[in-house]
């Protein structure tokens, strides 16, 4: 972890501590003590287990995608990758550090850099596609249940959805209409060169075209492997269900049992979509505000709502940062030289 990432880590914890302290100040010490005394620890453990299930499913996706070129890839090494992704997604603006961290982690485990880049790219495509698909399913089958809650956040939800649609549409265009997409990107880079200078624009163009070509080549193989794609999509869907289910078990731990499992999953899907709009590491402030807006009208007791927000952030964000730091220290079973990683990654991060 370089100095910049260490600074991001410190800032993430400071901002998180500030936001959570602000939330806890909304209730008295007596209310806080009562909530802790009546907390059902079994359901809280289940919430943590859902996060481990989320990481385990992503690890399995990595194993499946690596099987073609890498052969057997240990679950221990695979499980380390989503933990690194969680750590660097949580401490960098717009979660930009996750992809490079995964790439470094795979290379450290002995995966060829080209193969590692292809796996990260395809995993990203499948994940983004299923985020959109699951959101559409939630809207179609769950809109009536959450109509009142999302009314005040409708523009944020729409903006988040449009951003994900644009990302997925761009990736699908590379897969199916590469020549046209190449021309559009070239035109866009030519426009950008007026602000960043010719030399930087040429470097950026080489890097973008290299990534596009790698993705186009890899997508050809993936399109021909329907069973592999179906397997990966199924694992990613289970992964997302684990994540979406976390607030339900947290609410159960606090004795809030009147909300259905499906109702909570739909609301959490909306929250995840909105969080992606906030540039602050971990979406600090924005995530808590969104959770408060969507669940505030459904949880009568203020103390329970505050505790739900705090526990939700601990389980989905801060636990991942702490475990990610452990994964950063624990080296993979098969290692490559530090110099090789630096040589391969100097243009990536």
Q: Are 75 and 63 in contact (CB under 8 A)?
A: yes
Confidence of residue 80 (pLDDT cuts 50, 70, 90): very high
pLDDT at 184: 79
**Does 48 have pLDDT greater than 90?**
yes
The rounded percent of the chain whose pLDDT value lies above 70 is 93
Lowest mean pLDDT among 6-10, 54-58, 97-101, 337-341: 337-341
**What is the rounded average pLDDT of the residues 176-204?**
76
Return contacts of 1-6, CB within 8 angstroms, 24+ apart. Answer: 1/328, 5/88, 5/91, 5/92, 5/97
Distance CA 330, CA 126 (A): 28
Q: Where are the domains of the chain?
A: 3-173+234-345
The answer for residues whose C-beta is within 8 angstroms of residue 102's C-beta and 6 or more apart is: 81, 82, 84, 85, 116, 120, 123
pLDDT at 243: 96
Burial 235-246, CB ≥16 within 10 A → b, else e = bbeebbebbbbb
**Does 346 have pLDDT greater than 60?**
no
272 or 179, which is more confident?
A: 272
Model pTM score: 0.86
The two tokens of residue 13 are: 């914890």
pLDDT at 347: 46
Confidence of residue 68 (pLDDT cuts 50, 70, 90): confident
pLDDT at 157: 79
**What is the rounded average pLDDT of the residues 28-39?**
90
**Does 187 have pLDDT greater than 50?**
yes
53-64: pLDDT as tens digits = 999 999 999 999
Confidence of residue 339 (pLDDT cuts 50, 70, 90): very low
The structure tokens 């526990």 sit at: 311
291-338: pLDDT as tens digits = 998 898 888 889 999 999 999 999 999 999 999 999 999 888 765 544
The answer for residues whose C-beta is within 8 angstroms of residue 220's C-beta and 6 or more apart is: none
pLDDT at 348: 43
């Amino acid at each position: 972890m370089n100095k910049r990432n260490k600074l991001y880590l410190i800032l993430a914890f400071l901002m998180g501590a500030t936001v959570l302290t602000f939330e806890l100040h909304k209730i008295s010490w007596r209310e806080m003590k009562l909530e802790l005394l009546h907390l059902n620890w079994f359901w809280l453990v289940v919430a943590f287990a859902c996060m481990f299930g989320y990481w385990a499913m992503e690890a399995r996706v990595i194993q499946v995608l690596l099987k073609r070129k890498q052969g057997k890839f240990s679950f221990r090494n695979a499980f380390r990758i989503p933990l690194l992704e969680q750590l660097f997604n949580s401490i960098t603006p717009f979660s930009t550090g996750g992809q490079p961290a995964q790439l470094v982690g795979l290379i450290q485990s002995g995966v060829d850099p080209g193969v590692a880049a292809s796996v990260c790219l395809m995993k990203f495509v499948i994940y983004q596609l299923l985020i959109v698909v699951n959101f559409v399913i939630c809207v179609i089958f769950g809109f009536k249940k959450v109509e009142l809650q999302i009314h005040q956040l409708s523009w944020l939800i729409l903006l988040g959805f449009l951003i994900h649609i644009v990302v997925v549409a761009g990736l699908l265009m590379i897969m199916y209409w590469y020549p046209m997409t190449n021309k559009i990107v070239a035109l866009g880079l030519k426009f950008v060169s007026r602000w960043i200078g010719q030399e930087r624009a040429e470097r950026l163009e080489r890097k973008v075209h290299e990534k596009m070509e790698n993705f186009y080549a890899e997508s050809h193989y993936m399109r021909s492997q329907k069973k592999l794609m179906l397997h990966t999509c199924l694992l990613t869907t289970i992964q997302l269900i684990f994540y979406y289910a976390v607030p339900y078990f947290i609410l159960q731990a606090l004795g809030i049992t009147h909300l259905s499992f499906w109702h909570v999953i739909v609301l959490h899907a909306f929250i995840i979509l909105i969080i992606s709009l906030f540039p602050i590491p971990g979406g600090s402030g924005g995530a808590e505000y969104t959770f408060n807006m969507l669940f505030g009208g459904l949880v009568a007791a203020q103390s329970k709502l505050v505790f739900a927000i705090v526990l939700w952030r601990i389980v989905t964000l801060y636990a991942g940062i702490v475990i990610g730091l452990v994964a950063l220290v624990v080296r993979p079973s098969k290692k490559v030289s530090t110099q090789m990683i630096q040589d391969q990654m100097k243009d990536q991060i």
